[in-house]
């Protein structure tokens, strides 16, 4: 049995204490928001709500559930997140694969150009003019195509592809497989960890997308959930079109917190199913052999 030295024991204690404090600092605000969303207007206004609901009520959630614009924006966010993430993964993989193979010409110049996009980002006005000239304004494409490839995610995926056995690719070419078939039938099935990792990065970015919707979307019917949440925060409950009895029983602050919970839960539910691949992808994709 290994004996732990005093220094190691104190290090573990301090490390665990730090991680517990860090974890609580992330969890407690969410618990506070949830408690307010389940509390009455009087309890919230009197400052009685901390981490447990006071005068428990579901009226705030009922008012939000009865709001049609919320569900429309929720559906738009789901669509943009799902389809946008698919576009991101497909385009990132199609660029990362040739950049990971040493036999492809112009690999290094392209890598330098990609690296430059990490250092020098496009200013807002030229970016807006480009999207406008392409006819993407007031369409959901403006929320998915401009950021189709992230340079950081590209380098992570490229590192993972470089770690795959070269002999596997060579043998596939000998068997007559083309490059696209090698990518889709051989490389990607072996790359589930890094695909899950980068998929989470892209999905979270799409789900939390806020600035692009403000810049490129003028039609209120196309607002994603985060922009709709901003409307509720600014206008309180005055823009709620749910049944009057539900709105009267709810509170402006409680409605805000209920919308925050509804906007947060879906993306949190995805992570547990991908946690195994996420951890492995971060470890493998970050090492270059």
Q: Are 71 and 207 in a shared domain? A: yes
Domain span holding position 30: 1-57
Looking at residue 145, the DSSP 8-state letter turns out to be: S
Burial 92-106 (b: 16+ CB within 10 A, else e): bbebbbbbbeeeeee
Q: Is residue 268 part of a domain?
A: yes
The CATH number of residue 138's host domain is 1.10.3720.10
When divided into structural domains, the chain yields a total of 2
The residue to which tokens 């919230």 are assigned: 44
| Residue 20, pLDDT score | 93
Instruction: Note the pLDDT tens digit of each residue in 130-150.
Output: 888 888 888 888 888 888 888
pLDDT averaged over every residue in the chain: 79
pLDDT 10s digits, 80-93: 999 999 999 999 98
Residues 37 and 164 in one domain: no
Q: Is residue 258 located within the same domain as residue 281?
A: yes
Residue 216, domain member (yes or no): yes
Residue 18 has pLDDT above 90, yes or no: yes
Higher pLDDT, residue 122 or 239: 122
Q: Find out whether 254 and 32 touch, Cβ atoms under 8 Å.
A: no
Distance CA 247, CA 158 (A): 52
Residue 21 confidence (pLDDT) = 93
**First vs last Cα of the chain: how many Å apart?**
35
Give the DSSP H or E segment for 87: helix 68-100
User: Could you tell me if 180 and 200 lie in one domain?
Assistant: yes
Axis-axis angle for helices 192-207, 68-100 (nearest 10): 140
Is pLDDT above 80 for 242? no
Does some domain include residue 62? no
Mean pLDDT of 242-253: 55
Query: pLDDT at residue 17 above 60?
Result: yes
Whole-model pTM over 0.85: no
Residue 153 in any domain: the answer is: yes
**Residue 127 DSSP code:** H
What dihedral do alpha carbons 279, 281, 285, 286 form, nearest 10°? -10
Are residues 107 and 220 part of one domain? yes
Can you tell me the distance from the alpha carbon of 208 to that of 206, in angstroms, rounded to the nearest whole number?
A: 5
As a whole number of angstroms, the distance between CA 219 and CA 213 comes to 10
Query: What percent of the chain is predicted at pLDDT more than 90?
Result: 6
Residues 227 and 199 reside in one and the same domain: yes
Crossing angle (nearest 10°) for helices 252-285 and 192-207 = 150
């Amino acid at each position: 049995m290994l004996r732990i030295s005093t220094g190691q024991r104190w290090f573990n204690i301090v490390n665990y204490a730090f991680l517990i404090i860090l974890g609580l600092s992330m969890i407690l605000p969410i618990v506070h928001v949830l408690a307010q969303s389940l509390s009455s207007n009087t309890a919230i206004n009197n400052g009685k709500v901390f981490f447990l609901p006071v005068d428990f009520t579901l009226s705030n959630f009922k008012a939000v559930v009865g709001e049609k614009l919320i569900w429309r924006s929720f559906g738009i966010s789901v669509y943009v997140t799902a389809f946008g993430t698919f576009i991101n993964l497909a385009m990132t993989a199609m660029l990362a694969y040739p950049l990971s193979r040493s036999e492809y010409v112009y690999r290094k110049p392209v890598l330098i150009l990609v690296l430059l996009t990490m250092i020098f980002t496009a200013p807002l006005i030229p970016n807006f003019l480009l999207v406008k000239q392409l006819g993407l304004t007031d369409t959901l494409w403006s929320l998915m195509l401009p950021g189709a490839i992230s340079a950081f995610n590209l380098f992570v995926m490229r590192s993972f592809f470089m770690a795959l056995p070269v002999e596997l690719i060579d043998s596939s070419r000998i068997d007559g497989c083309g490059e696209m078939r090698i990518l889709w039938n051989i490389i990607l099935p072996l790359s589930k960890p890094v695909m899950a990792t980068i998929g989470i990065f892209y999905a979270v970015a799409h789900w939390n997308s806020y600035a692009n919707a403000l810049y490129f979307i003028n039609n209120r019917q196309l607002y994603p959930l985060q922009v709709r949440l901003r409307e509720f925060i600014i206008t309180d409950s005055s823009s709620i079109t749910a049944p009057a009895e539900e709105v009267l029983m709810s509170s402006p602050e409680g409605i805000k917190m209920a919308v925050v919970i509804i906007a947060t839960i879906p993306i949190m539910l995805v992570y547990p199913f991908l946690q195994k691949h996420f951890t492995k992808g971060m470890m493998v994709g970050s090492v270059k052999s």
